[in-house]
Amino acid sequence: MTDPSEPTTARSFEDLLGDCVHCGFCLPTCPTHVLWGQEMDSPRGRIHLMAQTHDDVLTEAAVGHFDNCLGCLACVTACPSGVAYDALIEHTRIRVEEEHDRPLPERALRGAIFALFPHRRRLRLLRGPLRAYQASGASSLVRRSGLLERVSPALATMERVAPPLSARPPALPERVPAVGRVRARVGMPLGCVQDAFFPEVNTATARVLAMEGCDVVIPRDQGCCGSLSGHAGRGAEAAGFAKALIACFERADVERIVVNSAGCGSGMRHTDRVLAEAGEDESWVRRGRAFAAKVVDLSEFLVELGPVAERHPIPLHAVYHDACHLSHGQGVTRQPRALLAAIPELRVSDLPDAEICCGSAGVYNLLKPEPARELGDRKAADAASTGADLLVSGNPGCSLQIASALDRAGTPMAVTHTARLLDASLRGLPVERLLRP
Amino acid sequence: MTETAHPIPAAVAALVPRLRRICGGDGVLTDASRRRVYESDGLTRHRAVPGVVVLPTTAEQVTAVVRLCAETGVPFVPRGAGTGLSAGALPHPEGVLLSTSRMRRIIEVDPDNECAVVEPGVANLDVSRAAAPYGLYYAPDPSSQQVCSVGGNVAENSGGAHCLKYGFTVDHVRGLDVVTPQGALLRLGGKAPDAPGHDLIGAFVGSEGTLGIATRITVGLTRLPERTVTLLSAFTSMDAGGRAVSAIIAAGVLPSAIEMMDALAIEAAEAAVACDYPAGAACVLIVELDGPAVEVEAELAEVVRLCASAGAFETRTAADADERARIWKGRKSAFAAVGRISPAYIVQDGVVPRTALPEVLRRITELSAESGIRVANVFHAGDGNLHPLVLFDDAEPGAAERAEEVSGAILDLCVEHGGSITGEHGVGVDKACKMPRMYSPDDLETFDLFRRALDPRGIANPDKLLPTPRLCGEVPGVRRGAHPLVESGEAEQF
Amino acid sequence: MTRQGIEDVRAGGPDDAVCGVVPTHVARPRDTETLGRLLAGAAERGWSVAVRGGGTAQDWGGRPRTVDLLVDTGALTWIDHDAGDLVVEVGAGTPVAELTATLAKAGQRLSVDPVRAGGTVGGLLATGVCGPRRLRTGTLRNLVIGMTVVRADGVVARSGGRVVKNVAGYDLAKLHTGGYGTLGVIASAAFRLHPLPPALRVLDAPLPSREAATRALAALRRSTVVPAAVELDRAPGGRSHLHVVLEGTSAGVEARADETVRVLGAALAVEGRGTPGDGGTAMARGEGHGGTEDATSSDRAPENGVRVTDRLPDGWGLLPTEGTLIRLSVPPARSAAAAARAAELGDAVGTDLRTTGSARAGALVVAVPPGASAEVIGLLLEGLRSVPEWSATVLRAEPHVHEAGVDLWGEVPGLAVMRAIKDALDPGHRLAPGRFVTDRPDDLREEP
């Protein structure tokens, strides 16, 4: 007899597969099933493919359908039987990377992505050329030419999702002291994409935490958490990153590790599983478990902590977007809404079809630009239908994806992070600051 | 290697180029691993890899595919969301599996005529979502409503917890576009009621895909009630709960739902979703009342009184959506939750007259005791529709067989008491061989005459609904071989 | 060759005529088994067979080409009532009135309004037409849960059962309901029942215009008062009324009637008098009308012209026993327009029509006075059938209309399939040949 509530690290892959009773409740929440309406591109179908290929070779077809999965985990929320699809797909992706020979161009693209994204400094360096490129006015010309699309749809996507660059805020110090009485000592991972593309979100996060009475420790030597690699089946790479980050935050000696990027947080909560999958020894798995236990999303932490700082009014209409790796990956849906609800004069509404992924999904929009774009368009249309002034989300990837889709649709809307909205409220900033892209 | 394990049969392979021309390249699945994904619906103990899978997007494509099948005599099996529990969408290994999963447009919501027009692949709940802005909803609510398709509901004549008051799918379908097994596209009924001639819509709904495929469905919508109240009563015995049900019915109250769970089902639900039902309950009754507020208030008082006098030791009422959801949570999770207290289980579906409920439940308890197989009971008490969950450990030798026996014996009990072998899951493949328990050879032969009138070549979802020699061995009363009209050349074929 | 079941046959006379066709033989089987033997004997002889229950619908449907044997179901009268299960099974010959009385004793009912007085359950089923109280519990087709039918070859076959929820096998009862006995002879049927509502209110609202009618119907649709019936009655000369029937508890119907008066009043007040939907609305309860729903006479003073009573009008749901009846089915939102259109067509051909029926369902009946010529009927049908989505079928025609060969059915989608079913269940087309659309002699239209 199996108990799905047992930790998934303790159960075999085969055993986890057996939890699926084929009821199909996952189908309507799966973005690829929404797009294509075929069983193989649904969680139920993929689980079937996993079972088919469990003792057999990975067929080209099966790999294609595993690759199509955005890893949004909406199915995990929808499943009445508690199937650990997150563990299943992660394990399967590792196997795909190990056993399957991808065609050369695809391998090259993946190589390039993972040589770039999990590296803050490299990402940051990329911004120079991007900024120069935008400033020169060549951007719209190149877009119109369609040249980028021809060279590589993936590069075109990256170009499109890059937000217009403003002057980078000053780098955060290694410690931001609490305002008033110290209520907690927390560590803060910066995130790779967050740090490179949305440094102001990190600044806002640190400031909000400090204003709520936290000593914020931001280790300068921190690297990537490995979630991006882990979600893509690059198990060893993920474990390498994870180990470095564990060591880094062990040295920081913090009570909690407060994450403001949903994708990072959802991976970091399972650091022990990542290490175990990669075959790390038990002592590392234990350290991973202790690390994972400290990981908490910013919104979750702030609600738990309770407010001390005064909230100033923000007379706007905001629509809240549930980042998949926050809602489905970490079960955090109530807390961000509670935080927003506590801001005076802020009206908050929900998106229709809120449980469906926006198509960002880590590096999915780079690997599968077409479906990602279609999902982005749907999300943008849903966002526009609410008539809100700005969209709030807890994940940088979603922000990039939805902002670009809204622009594409000709319905631009300000997109911001929960932390920035809170920061503005705590500091009583004028709302224009938020609406500026 | 899997390719060689499930080769496409020659007769089907010959159709593939033409199917591609009809449905487009990505609308035809031939690869073995993809076809295998479709090997079962919601009832996984029956499996068959389809010869080919097609994913049409329009009624014209469906018509063309069926016409091709009719021309060549290749069987086809319609499939909706694949959530059925009678293997009604079990593929034919030498046939075409026709999935409506890409036909998901809500064509129209017409509040003035209180109806909606949808394609068959639209999820049941999506109809209600689309109708909600007008204060309307689609009443049939099978428990898989967020995923099951309206087309599948039409095939199975699906009910749901609230069909006690609001009826089944057949009571809400006003119009159907149907592709017959001979490849004709008919438009039956529409927004106007009482279509002239025979009630083909009535006969088509619930025919389990054996009479063709619905490609467009007009469903009636119902005004959202002014008030809905849900009540949960806990009893120390199933008998007491059963008495409460009888008393409610006898008092002339017509709740929209009356659901009942026994101790084992409550235990499972608690384990899965911590539904917080009253401690020590051997039976809980969930009663939902809806309608004009004044009527609901009066009925609620009456039901509370009746439950108390039947021996309820605790009764809770919920008036807002959150509280109602909490009460329903345990009930709705019960099936999946049973997985937490047992490695394997069979969900049975049978009906008894309401008045026979106590007697039948006692007999189920005896059966369980005799066989050592645990049975959890979750059911629609208002209309006598039982869903015994027969629990077993599939790792234990012989346990599955004993569970099957208990499950079958429960169906026998239903028939003995004047009930039915299925209240809502359908016959499909799973119960086709059990039809002779309920119907005489003459009854079955009449069903078969009717079926062959529409499907002379027997290509529409063959081996479902009626017993066949291939499936059940020698079955008395069912015609074998071609229909006389086909043999005589009177019945036309495309 | 067996002669079982044929021994009690008597010769037919003018009183036995079906649409004017006098049967050669008449038999009155005493039970289902005898009925089976009778039909088997008729099959051996190649006899055509028609059925009679209460004899109230012998002039309904098409005129049979021949009737060698008329089966009189008058002896198939039995009622098996499971009150605790809210289910009844009855012999086809049971008079509807007898069934109603039996069920009422247990506080239950079969929730349909018969359209003919004096009919039997079998006749009710075979003609399949019911009156306006269909909004909450549907029509006969929604209430039949099982049926035993004797096939043309004498084989007794059952479908469905005696439980309200059952999806085993084909629901053949649906085909026989409204099938005029052309697919088999109904021997018995089982129905789901409903509790008799403790209280009833009937609102009668005069409708000054077609626009007012449309507005009133739309307002009712948007309300949550849940009427059992919304009947439109457009009398000759253009006077129209709306009857709204509310059923429920005594306190409930009282409050719902108030609400309905308010809703109707607001909708009707837009034109003509006063302020629409102004405040007060909910009518003051009449003195001495303290909610005792059993009070014998409690008509209220009309409010906004809406009169409230606690009784159904005399002859509720019954259709005229003379003249031609046309069943007119339209999308519900077009009910008022359809009644108006029928009246216009009537004016054009110089005949006074009455249109009644469930406006909320779009199920209307147009009654043409006796004596209207076949040409007039033909023009009316043509006019009604020319509107997309409307269908008009003749329920009952006078002999001269039959003789003129007026098309009683109009276009019938799915006719080829219906004929295939007929061929399968009655290959010799001996059951009431000509009575139903499946053997309409002049029809050559086929499905594409």
Domain boundary, last residue among A247, A269, A303? A303
**Which residues of chain B are within 8 Å of residue C359 when distances are taken between CB atoms?**
none
Structure token pair of residue A348: 């908050």
Kindly state whether residues A148 and A241 are assigned to the same domain. Answer: no
CA distance B67 to B181: 8
**Which residues of chain C are within 8 Å of residue B353 when distances are taken between CB atoms?**
82, 84-85, 87, 162-163
DSSP C170-235: --THHHHTTSTTSS-EEEEEEEE-EEPPSEEEEEEEEE-SHHHHHHHHHHHHHS----SEEEEEE-
Say if A3 falls within a structural domain.
no
Kindly state whether residues A318 and A291 are assigned to the same domain. Answer: no
Say if C357 falls within a structural domain.
yes
pLDDT band at A123 (very low <50, low <70, confident <90, very high): confident
Say if C252 falls within a structural domain.
yes
Kindly state whether residues C115 and C174 are assigned to the same domain. Answer: yes
Q: Is 60 exceeded by the pLDDT of residue A113? A: yes
Q: Residue A72: which CATH number?
A: 1.10.1060.10
Let me know: does B256 contact B162? Beta carbons within 8 Å: yes
**Which residues of chain C are within 8 Å of residue B206 when distances are taken between CB atoms?**
167, 170-171
CA distance B393 to B404: 12
Question: In this complex, which of C164, C329, C437 lies closest to B192 when CB atoms are compared?
Answer: C329
Q: What is the pLDDT of residue A120?
A: 82
Interstrand relation of B52-54 and B96-99 (parallel, antiparallel or unpaired)? parallel
**Which residues of chain B are within 8 Å of residue A1 when distances are taken between CB atoms?**
342-343, 393
- Kindly report the backbone phi and psi dihedral angles of residue A402, in degrees, each rounded to the nearest multiple of 5, phi listed first: -75, -40
ipTM of predicted complex = 0.93
State whether B384 and C424 contact (CB < 8 Å): no
Kindly state whether residues A362 and A289 are assigned to the same domain. Answer: no
Check CB contact of B458 with chain A, cutoff 8 Å: no
Question: In this complex, which of B41, B102, B340 lies closest to A37 when CB atoms are compared?
Answer: B102
Question: In this complex, which of B113, B198, B446 lies closest to C418 when CB atoms are compared?
Answer: B198
Q: Which residue of B has its CA nearest to A35?
A: B102
Check CB contact of B151 with chain A, cutoff 8 Å: no
Kindly state whether residues A122 and A232 are assigned to the same domain. Answer: no
Q: How far is CA B315 from CA B265, B286, C265, C328, in A?
A: 19, 10, 41, 50
Chains that touch C (3 or more CB pairs under 8 A): B
State whether A40 and B34 contact (CB < 8 Å): yes
Say if C401 falls within a structural domain.
yes
Q: What is the pLDDT of residue B41?
A: 96
Check CB contact of B44 with chain A, cutoff 8 Å: yes
Summarize the confidence of residues A198-223 as an average pLDDT.
Answer: 95
User: What's this model's pTM, rounded to 2 decimal places?
Assistant: 0.92
Kindly state whether residues C190 and C215 are assigned to the same domain. Answer: no
Say if A104 falls within a structural domain.
no
Mean pLDDT check: name the lowest of A1-15, B75-89, B169-183, B426-440.
Answer: A1-15
Range of the domain at A92: 9-99
**Which residues of chain B are within 8 Å of residue A23 when distances are taken between CB atoms?**
42, 83, 144, 147, 336
Question: In this complex, which of B196, B425, B439 lies closest to C391 when CB atoms are compared?
Answer: B196
pLDDT band at A164 (very low <50, low <70, confident <90, very high): low
CA distance C326 to C368: 8
Check CB contact of B392 with chain A, cutoff 8 Å: no
Q: Residue A391: which CATH number?
A: 3.40.50.11810
Kindly state whether residues C177 and C208 are assigned to the same domain. Answer: no
Structure token pair of residue A80: 């009445």
State whether A52 and B33 contact (CB < 8 Å): yes
**Which residues of chain C are within 8 Å of residue B491 when distances are taken between CB atoms?**
420, 423
Interstrand relation of A256-259 and A295-297 (parallel, antiparallel or unpaired)? parallel
pLDDT band at B326 (very low <50, low <70, confident <90, very high): confident
Kindly state whether residues C165 and C251 are assigned to the same domain. Answer: no
Q: Residue C106: which CATH number?
A: 3.30.465.10
Say if A230 falls within a structural domain.
yes
Q: How many domains does chain A have?
A: 4
Q: Residue C365: which CATH number?
A: 3.30.70.260
Kindly state whether residues A253 and A351 are assigned to the same domain. Answer: no
State whether B37 and A53 contact (CB < 8 Å): no
Domains and CATH numbers, chain B: 2-99 (3.30.43.10), 106-223 (3.30.465.10), 225-341 (3.30.70.2190), 342-430 (3.30.70.2740), 442-487 (no CATH)
**Which residues of chain B are within 8 Å of residue C408 when distances are taken between CB atoms?**
none
Q: How far is B226 from chain C (nearest CA, A)?
A: 6
Say if A93 falls within a structural domain.
yes
Q: Is 60 exceeded by the pLDDT of residue B204? A: yes
Structure token pair of residue B161: 């917890």
Let me know: does C113 contact C208? Beta carbons within 8 Å: no
DSSP state of B177: E
Kindly state whether residues A154 and A193 are assigned to the same domain. Answer: no
Contact flag for C and A (3+ C-beta pairs < 8 Å): no
Give per-residue pLDDT as tens, B230-268: 999 999 999 999 999 999 988 999 999 999 999 999 998
pLDDT band at A150 (very low <50, low <70, confident <90, very high): very low
The one-letter code for the residue type at A342 is A
pLDDT band at A159 (very low <50, low <70, confident <90, very high): low
Q: Is 70 exceeded by the pLDDT of residue B169? A: yes
The one-letter code for the residue type at B429 is V
Q: Which residue of B has its CA nearest to A64?
A: B34
**Which residues of chain C are within 8 Å of residue B252 when distances are taken between CB atoms?**
107, 195-198
Q: How far is B244 from chain A (nearest CA, A)?
A: 30
Q: How far is C447 from chain B (nearest CA, A)?
A: 7
CA distance B235 to A428: 57
Say if C51 falls within a structural domain.
no
Kindly state whether residues C150 and C235 are assigned to the same domain. Answer: no
Say if C11 falls within a structural domain.
no
Q: What is the pLDDT of residue A131?
A: 57
State whether C362 and B250 contact (CB < 8 Å): no
Give per-residue pLDDT as tens, B347-401: 999 999 988 998 999 999 999 999 999 999 998 999 999 999 999 998 899 999 9
State whether A38 and B104 contact (CB < 8 Å): no
Say if A4 falls within a structural domain.
no
Say if C416 falls within a structural domain.
no
Kindly state whether residues A358 and A335 are assigned to the same domain. Answer: yes
Question: In this complex, which of B191, B294, B443 lies closest to C158 when CB atoms are compared?
Answer: B443
Kindly state whether residues A317 and A430 are assigned to the same domain. Answer: yes
Q: What is the pLDDT of residue C289?
A: 36
Kindly state whether residues C184 and C229 are assigned to the same domain. Answer: no
Let me know: does A229 contact A268? Beta carbons within 8 Å: no
State whether C252 and B426 contact (CB < 8 Å): no
Kindly state whether residues A409 and A333 are assigned to the same domain. Answer: yes
Domain boundary, last residue among A303, A321, A354? A303
Tell me which of B85, B171, B194 to substitute to probe the interface with C (most C C-beta atoms closer than 10 Å). Answer: B194
Provide the H-helix boundaries in C274-430: 335-349, 374-385, 399-403, 415-425
pLDDT above 90 as % of chain A: 69
Say if C233 falls within a structural domain.
yes
The one-letter code for the residue type at B143 is S
CB within 8 Å of chain B, chain A residues 21-80? 21-25, 27-28, 36-40, 44-45, 48-49, 52-53, 56-57, 59, 61-62, 80
Range of the domain at C238: 199-279+298-309
**Under DSSP, is residue B294 helix (H, G, I), strand (E, B) or coil?**
helix
Q: What is the pLDDT of residue B330?
A: 87
Q: What is the pLDDT of residue A137?
A: 55
Q: What is the pLDDT of residue A199?
A: 87
Q: At what angle are helices A138-145 and A153-161 packed, to 10 degrees?
A: 150
- What's the start-to-end Cα distance of chain A, in Å? 54
Kindly state whether residues C126 and C156 are assigned to the same domain. Answer: yes
Radius of gyration of chain C (CA): 23
Say if A169 falls within a structural domain.
no
Question: In this complex, which of A2, A61, A81 lies closest to B34 when CB atoms are compared?
Answer: A61
**Which residues of chain C are within 8 Å of residue B443 when distances are taken between CB atoms?**
157-159, 169
Domain boundary, last residue among C195, C211, C239? C195
CA distance A127 to A143: 18
Interstrand relation of B76-79 and C87-91 (parallel, antiparallel or unpaired)? unpaired
Kindly state whether residues A30 and A77 are assigned to the same domain. Answer: yes
Kindly state whether residues C93 and C189 are assigned to the same domain. Answer: yes
Say if A106 falls within a structural domain.
no
Q: Residue C205: which CATH number?
A: 3.30.70.3450
> What residues form DSSP beta bridges with B28?
B54
Check CB contact of A385 with chain B, cutoff 8 Å: no
CA distance A316 to A346: 5
**Which residues of chain C are within 8 Å of residue B420 when distances are taken between CB atoms?**
161, 163, 165-168
pLDDT band at B173 (very low <50, low <70, confident <90, very high): very high
State whether B295 and C448 contact (CB < 8 Å): no
Q: How many domains does chain C have?
A: 3
Check CB contact of A81 with chain B, cutoff 8 Å: yes
Kindly state whether residues A205 and A245 are assigned to the same domain. Answer: yes
Q: How far is A19 from chain B (nearest CA, A)?
A: 8
Question: In this complex, which of C82, C151, C410 lies closest to B446 when CB atoms are compared?
Answer: C151
Render the burial of A252-283: b for 16+ CB within 10 Å, e for the rest.
Answer: bebebbbbbbbbbbbbbbbbbbbbbbbebeee
State whether B82 and A24 contact (CB < 8 Å): yes
Q: Which residue of C has its CA nearest to B201?
A: C174
Tell me which of B412, B446, B465 to substitute to probe the interface with C (most C C-beta atoms closer than 10 Å). Answer: B446
Q: How far is A220 from chain B (nearest CA, A)?
A: 43
Kindly state whether residues A295 and A317 are assigned to the same domain. Answer: no
Say if A94 falls within a structural domain.
yes
Check CB contact of B396 with chain A, cutoff 8 Å: no
State whether B423 and C162 contact (CB < 8 Å): no
Give per-residue pLDDT as tens, A287-346: 999 999 999 999 999 999 999 999 999 999 999 999 999 999 999 999 999 999 999 999
Residues of chain C with pLDDT under 70: 1-5, 7, 270-303, 440-448
Say if C144 falls within a structural domain.
yes
| Count of pairs with CB atoms under 8 A, one residue in A, one in B | 88
